[in-house]
Copies of this chain bind each other. A is one copy, B any other.
């Protein structure tokens, strides 16, 4: 079978719709072929399937091709703390590079296609391909940034602002992936949203209800429609309740 056929019929990086959000970004053809050759793709993960569990030796990083996942850690009390929701193009596992063991868990929220990137091979290849090395650093840097922003959100904004920010962030992430930024389906439960934002299910539910009553959004189960994005931005930004003023 010719390579043309391969790229037409098989799942690979070359024909992946979100490759510019992922590792392949900035890679030339020959480097991309090399990267693609080390990536393994297995059958889809189903809701509840885990990519890895805390403590297991780091074998691979994972890239989301389709679907969505949550990553979480367990604290000393054994409670789950969700640290991220992953969408197509996201890379998973950077936090485990340091001590070569997975630091937490990663679990599919729905049926998902996952690209598995054996870490040793990636590490080797990144020594040969500077653009790949730089892209890995960029993605790690992005994750650090996202975590810091998240930290700012939960330490200094009230519940309304957190939920509004969450809706906006999903909106912008869907937009980057060529999907609607004003109407989307949540693959996570209210409880998972609350856990992620440091709120209870009840609070999340009440606020979505409130936003709906104020005609800012429309919710129907897992489906969300953002009707007044500007208003959501205001709520996310300048919190309406004079907001705890930490020093300027």
Residues of A within 8 A of B (CB): 73, 75-81, 83, 94-98, 103-104, 123, 126-127, 130, 133-134, 136-145, 147-152, 154-157, 191, 194-198, 200, 236-239, 243-248
Q: Which residues of B sit under 8 angstroms from A77, Cβ to Cβ?
A: 237-239, 243
Q: Is the CB of A155 within 8 A of B95?
A: no
Copies of the protein in its oligomer: 2
Q: Is the CB of B140 within 8 A of A151?
A: no
Q: Is the CB of B198 within 8 A of A155?
A: yes
Q: Which residues of B sit under 8 angstroms from A140, Cβ to Cβ?
A: 94, 97, 137, 140-141, 144
**5 cross-chain CB contacts under 8 A:** A95-B144, A147-B147, A147-B151, A156-B198, A191-B247
7 closest pairs, A vs B, by CB?
A: A155-B198, A147-B147, A98-B141, A97-B141, A81-B152, A76-B237, A95-B144
- Given A154-B198, A156-B75, A94 contacting B126 (CB threshold 8 A): no
Q: In whole angstroms, how far apart are the Cα atoms of A76 and B198 in the complex?
A: 20
- Given A134-B123, A191-B247, A155 contacting B79 (CB threshold 8 A): no
- Report the minimal beta-carbon distance from A216 to chain B, rounded to whole angstroms: 18
Q: Which residues of B sit under 8 angstroms from A154, Cβ to Cβ?
A: 151, 154-155, 198
- Report the minimal beta-carbon distance from A159 to chain B, rounded to whole angstroms: 12
Q: In whole angstroms, how far apart are the Cα atoms of A191 and B239 in the complex?
A: 21
- Report the minimal beta-carbon distance from A199 to chain B, rounded to whole angstroms: 8
Q: Which residues of B sit under 8 angstroms from A127, Cβ to Cβ?
A: 130, 133
Q: Which residues of B sit under 8 angstroms from A147, Cβ to Cβ?
A: 144, 147-148, 151
Q: Is the CB of B83 within 8 A of A152?
A: yes
Least CB separation from A192: chain B residue: B247
- Report the minimal beta-carbon distance from A140 to chain B, rounded to whole angstroms: 5
Q: Which residues of B sit under 8 angstroms from A151, Cβ to Cβ?
A: 81, 83, 147, 150-151, 154
Q: Which residues of B sit under 8 angstroms from A137, Cβ to Cβ?
A: 97, 136-137, 140
Q: Is the CB of B247 within 8 A of A148?
A: no
Q: Is the CB of B80 within 8 A of A246?
A: yes
Q: Is the CB of A96 within 8 A of B246?
A: no
Q: In whole angstroms, how far apart are the Cα atoms of A101 and B39 in the complex?
A: 32
Least CB separation from A157: chain B residue: B75
- Report the minimal beta-carbon distance from A182 to chain B, rounded to whole angstroms: 21
